[in-house]
Amino acid sequence: MQCAASTPSVFATAKPASERPSPPDATPTGTRHRGSWKSGDHGRIPTIKVYAALSRSRTVFYTPAVLTTPKQIHTDIEHTSTRVSICVDQHLSDIGKGTGPHTRINKHVELLIIDESERLSATALELLRDRYDRDNVALILIGMPGIEKWFSRYPQLYSRVGFAHEYRPLEQEELHFVLHRRWHKLGQDLDPDDFTDAQAIAAVARITRGNFRLIDRLFTQVERVMKINELNTITDDVIEAARSTLVIGIS
């Protein structure tokens, strides 16, 4: 059994660049926003931003529930892919780059990311492999360490895998990059040369050991501690107080 602090592994299957469409100004990065729209002018500006973001990402992110059936997975992915494609079409139309009649309803989706992929059954994996083959879409499967051994039991899928990657703990430079944004989100400016900030950074590094998921959980509690105690500075004491509320597991 993996402890709660384990870092995930990533399996990726990707079409060669020559086989995949490359729309202008499109960067295949993920977004968790599944797309939404409203009629009339109300909410039009936020909706335009959603359309533009989806046009850049061309990505669907999906997390199956523990007991989700292959049929439900198929339905969910089709529904979300259709909504994303409609949003992209609307954005392209708005900027005068409409692509004409649909050749397939989810034609704009270029990347499908599946989280918690260890929950997928053999049938669900075959469904995803078939979609990869039919729709010319790249596929990333995210799960706990060891999923590459599990997937190796399915040769038709495994033979299409481009690479496997296990996320390592954040290095110091990467940790500072993440913490700068965490400080900013809490209305603070991070200065690694400042004594107080340096102590707080050291506390975060010691507690999380560079585990991104733990950093996210820790700062949820940091925000809570600061709000309850009406604090406006992130110190090592605040970090320790936040840590005391977490169940981190065996280190």
The per-residue pLDDT for range 193-208, each reduced to its tens digit, is 999 999 999 999 999 9
DSSP letter string, 199-248: HHHHHHHHHHTT-HHHHHHHHHHHHHHHHHHT--S--HHHHHHHHTT---
For the segment 77-88, what is each residue's pLDDT rounded down to a tens digit?
Answer: 999 999 888 888
Rounded Cα gap, residues 182 and 74, in angstroms: 36
CATH topology of domain 172-243: Helicase, Ruva Protein; domain 3 (1.10.8)
- What's the confidence (pLDDT) of residue 20? 41
Instruction: Give the Å distances, CA to CA, from 131 to 123, 135, 139, 192.
Output: 12, 6, 9, 47
pLDDT band at 144 (very low <50, low <70, confident <90, very high): confident
**What is the C-alpha to C-alpha distance for residues 84 and 90, in angstroms, rounded to an integer?**
10
pLDDT tens by residue, 165-177: 888 899 999 999 9
Higher local confidence (pLDDT), 200 or 12: 200
Which pLDDT value is given to residue 197? Answer: 95
How far, in Å, CA of 57 to CA of 48, rounded? Answer: 14
The residue ranges of every structural domain in the chain are 9-166, 172-243
